[in-house]
Amino acid sequence: MRRLRAFIFACCCLAASSAFATGQLPASVAQALTAAGIPLQAAAIVVREIDSGKAALGHRADASMNPASLMKLLTTLAALEILGPAYTWRTELLAEGQLANGVIEGDLYLRGSGDPKLTHDRLWLLLRELRGRGVKEIRGDLVLDRGAFAPVEHDPAAFDGKPLRPYNVGPDALLFNFSTLHLSLLPEAMAVRVLAEPLPAGVEIVNKLQLSEAKTCGEWRERLEARLSPGKVELSGPFPRNCGERRWHLAGLPNSLMLHGVFTRLWRELGGEFAGQLRERGVPPNAVLLAASESPALGELVRDINKFSNNVMARQVFLTLGAGPPQANAPPAGGSASGLRARGANTGGVTEGNPRGTGEMKYPEAGTAAADSAIRAWLAQKGLSFPELVIDNGAGLSRRERISADSLARLLAAGWASPVMPEFVSSLPIAAIDGTARKKFNGNGVAGRAHLKTGSLEGVRGIAGYLLDKHGRRYIVVFMVNHPRSGEAQPAFDALLEWLWAGVS
């Protein structure tokens, strides 16, 4: 009986040891978490070798966690596969009636499709094309067609009470310049000079900044204050001379006001005439296309989204998944990819036809529910089941979104096996080299050997991506922490990556 009990005990110990093999954290990781005051039960980790699929480490792998910006991995991989890396968004200028002697007698319509990167320079090029086609004067209003997306309720102050931070900008079918002003602060002899780009017509910069002789620059942005109203941006607070020239990115002006004001300023700078107001409605069926701007390809834009963790760009892509690929991405039958065809010598370049087909634009309404359904259908097609998954906005700027470390690891494995793997992997920040990982992960050989998306919210930190160890083996690594002291988790992330780079036994 004693021998039998000893045998059963030994078997149980062996079974327990085997079951715990992927659950035991490396000592350096456990110590780093303990030193940071983070309980082991607040962390979730998965490490898996890509070639063999063998799990090298698993700790609370199935726990439902807030991933912060790691959620962008799901949105961007789904978009690359569903829409394709060559997918583009199109922004168009249209008008009703004929163009005579360079004059548009009626309204000018600006129609968006959800372009994530309709920037100041792109708008300038679009208006330059319109001027080049002979248009000089617009006698009607600027009318915005934002029907590509269903209205999305968004309060920029709701998440953390900081509505002027660019990361809190909401999506818009005609999102312009990320709805953000870029201010250059230049300390001069007696004052701080401010340059604003783009500056909408009718908006005044009231500069009340005070030049400070503080010895250190420190958190200079936290000491400045901005007050925004439709016609005024008032800046105040001390700015240290020792900071040198700095950039202050400021959101808060309504996107439509930004678009109308910058359109007006640019058009006048190009020698055009326009004094119209701003209105919103759908493009009428008889409107003709005057000029169009094509966005960079999705394969390029996902680099901005993942390397720099751009929330509003991720949200634009997410909502596009709900709309489905618009037919405008295909060239019109018998026409060029631009769909523009000159009408005659006296028309000033007015074009005939509408590259989206006859009649008013008919996008399906895109909303969060439609985008959520599109991603879940895509996961199902790939045989991926994430029962704990909660999608809120696809960007990770949310307290609701949830996913497990195991699900993220399986997503990364699917990304590695995908035809769009090169575009997906190259969009991730390179450890200690670029993006949000530029100043991180630079110890013990890890620098330059890992592509890692980072995630960060108050109470949330995470990393997920791929690492090549010193023996040439490549691993998937996911590490998430949900805890009030998660901001102290960086040494634990470093310890895991260094342990993994040294070679899992």
- Tell me the per-residue pLDDT of 67-118, one tens digit each, with 9 for 90 and over: 999 999 999 999 999 999 999 999 999 998 778 899 999 999 999 999 999 9
Q: How confident is the model at residue 329 (pLDDT cuts 50, 70, 90)?
A: very low
Alpha-carbon torsion, ordered 24, 25, 28, 30, to 10 deg: -110
Q: Give the span between the Cα atoms of 253 and 64, in whole angstroms.
A: 37
In this predicted structure, what is the pLDDT of residue 6? 43
**pLDDT at position 11 over 90:** no
Q: Which two tokens stand for residue 12?
A: 């149980």
Average pLDDT, the chain: 88
Cα 256 to Cα 148, 242, 253, 281, 282: the distances in Å are 15, 37, 9, 13, 15
In this predicted structure, what is the pLDDT of residue 152? 81
Q: Give the span between the Cα atoms of 409 and 420, in whole angstroms.
A: 17
Q: Of 469, 428, 471, nearest to 451 (Cα)?
A: 428
In this predicted structure, what is the pLDDT of residue 230? 83
Both 129 and 203 in one domain: the answer is: yes
Both 271 and 142 in one domain: the answer is: yes
Both 245 and 375 in one domain: the answer is: no
Q: Give the span between the Cα atoms of 302 and 428, in whole angstroms.
A: 9
**pLDDT at position 443 over 90:** no
Let me know how many helices (H) and strands (E) the chain has, helices first. Answer: 11, 20
Cα 341 to Cα 97, 132, 297: the distances in Å are 16, 14, 24
In this predicted structure, what is the pLDDT of residue 363? 44
Q: What is the mean pLDDT of residues 489-494?
A: 98
What residues contact 16, with CB distance under 8 A and at least 6 apart? none
Both 65 and 197 in one domain: the answer is: no
Report the interhelical angle of 298-307 vs 71-82 (nearest 10°): 180
Cα 8 to Cα 1, 17, 18: the distances in Å are 10, 14, 15
Residue that is written with structure tokens 């300038």 in the block:
124
**pLDDT at position 13 over 80:** no
**pLDDT at position 12 over 70:** no
Of 338, 362, 386, the domain-final residue:
362
Both 251 and 289 in one domain: the answer is: yes
pLDDT in tens, 32-48: 999 999 999 999 999 99
**pLDDT at position 355 over 70:** no
Q: Give the span between the Cα atoms of 501 and 445, in whole angstroms.
A: 7
Of 341, 362, 383, the domain-final residue:
362
What residues contact 477, with CB distance under 8 A and at least 6 apart? 46, 47, 450, 452, 463, 464, 465, 466, 467, 496, 497, 500
Q: Give the span between the Cα atoms of 25 and 36, in whole angstroms.
A: 15
Cβ neighbours of 128 (radius 10 Å): 14
Both 376 and 498 in one domain: the answer is: yes
pLDDT in tens, 268-319: 999 999 999 999 999 999 999 999 999 999 999 999 999 999 999 999 999 9
Both 103 and 247 in one domain: the answer is: yes
**pLDDT at position 505 over 80:** no
In this predicted structure, what is the pLDDT of residue 366? 63
In this predicted structure, what is the pLDDT of residue 365? 54
In this predicted structure, what is the pLDDT of residue 151? 79
- Backbone φ, ψ for residue 293 (5° rounding): -125, 130
In a domain, 6, yes or no: no
Q: How confident is the model at residue 249 (pLDDT cuts 50, 70, 90)?
A: very high
In a domain, 321, yes or no: no
In a domain, 202, yes or no: yes
Q: How confident is the model at residue 349 (pLDDT cuts 50, 70, 90)?
A: very low
In a domain, 308, yes or no: no
Q: How confident is the model at residue 367 (pLDDT cuts 50, 70, 90)?
A: confident
Both 180 and 57 in one domain: the answer is: no
Both 376 and 277 in one domain: the answer is: no
Residue with the bigger pLDDT between 110 and 354: it is 110
In this predicted structure, what is the pLDDT of residue 5? 44
In this predicted structure, what is the pLDDT of residue 337? 29
Q: Give the span between the Cα atoms of 66 and 112, in whole angstroms.
A: 32
**pLDDT at position 418 over 80:** yes
Q: How confident is the model at residue 333 (pLDDT cuts 50, 70, 90)?
A: very low
Peptide bond before residue 198 is cis, with ω within 30 degrees of 0: yes
Q: Give the span between the Cα atoms of 322 and 201, in whole angstroms.
A: 35
Residues in the chain: 505
In a domain, 4, yes or no: no
Residue 468 and residue 474 in contact, taking contact as beta carbons nearer than 8 Å: yes
- The secondary structure of 258-315 as a DSSP string is HHHHHHHHHHHHTT-EE---EEE-PPPTT-EEEEEEEPPPHHHHHHHHHHTT-HHHHH
Q: How confident is the model at residue 348 (pLDDT cuts 50, 70, 90)?
A: very low
Q: What is the mean pLDDT of residues 134-140?
A: 96
Cβ neighbours of 19 (radius 10 Å): 9
Q: How confident is the model at residue 9 (pLDDT cuts 50, 70, 90)?
A: very low
Both 210 and 98 in one domain: the answer is: yes
In a domain, 16, yes or no: no
Both 338 and 246 in one domain: the answer is: yes
Q: How confident is the model at residue 220 (pLDDT cuts 50, 70, 90)?
A: very high
CATH number reported for the structural domain that contains residue 47 in this entry:
3.40.710.10
Residue that is written with structure tokens 């063998």 in the block:
54
**pLDDT at position 361 over 70:** no
In this predicted structure, what is the pLDDT of residue 14? 34
Q: How confident is the model at residue 442 (pLDDT cuts 50, 70, 90)?
A: confident
Residue 36 and residue 485 in contact, taking contact as beta carbons nearer than 8 Å: yes
In a domain, 312, yes or no: no
In a domain, 125, yes or no: yes
**pLDDT at position 21 over 50:** no
pLDDT in tens, 163-205: 999 999 999 999 999 999 999 999 999 999 999 999 999 999 9
How many domains in the chain? 2
Domain hosting residue 487, numbered range:
23-82+368-502
**pLDDT at position 239 over 70:** yes
Both 193 and 64 in one domain: the answer is: no
Q: Give the span between the Cα atoms of 77 and 83, in whole angstroms.
A: 10
Strands 180-187, 192-197: pairing kind: antiparallel
Of 319, 344, 362, the domain-final residue:
362
- The reported pTM is 0.88
CATH number reported for the structural domain that contains residue 354 in this entry:
3.50.80.20
**pLDDT at position 370 over 70:** yes
